[in-house]
Amino acid sequence: MEEEPKQYIKELIIDTENAIRNLDPNIQNKFRYIATTQIKHIIATNTHNTLHKRYQYKKHQPPL
């Protein structure tokens, strides 16, 4: 079963924050900024993702 794209983003954010917490406290904010900009980019471009489009098509397709 495929998960909804929103769930992927939530898991990505949680995993990224957990990884950043293991870094030296002096550089954590820098990596949070980089991660935030990358996640925003992923969210913005996710509608062009083929798997995402396929999921949306199947989700809204009427039953037979």
Q: Which contiguous run of DSSP H or E holds residue 3?
A: none
pLDDT at res. 3: 59
For residue 1, what pLDDT band results from cuts at 50, 70 and 90?
A: very low
- Residue 57: both structure tokens together: 């098509």
Instruction: Give the whole-angstrom CA distance, residue 40 versus residue 27.
Output: 20
Asked if residue 23 lies in contact with residue 31, where contact means CB atoms within 8 angstroms, the answer is yes
Q: 21-47, pLDDT tens digit by residue?
A: 999 999 999 999 999 999 888 887 765
Asked if residue 12 lies in contact with residue 46, where contact means CB atoms within 8 angstroms, the answer is no
What range defines the domain where residue 50 resides?
5-60
Q: 12-28, pLDDT tens digit by residue?
A: 899 999 999 999 999 99
Better-predicted residue by pLDDT, 11 or 50: 11
Asked if residue 9 lies in contact with residue 44, where contact means CB atoms within 8 angstroms, the answer is no
Number of domains in the chain: 1
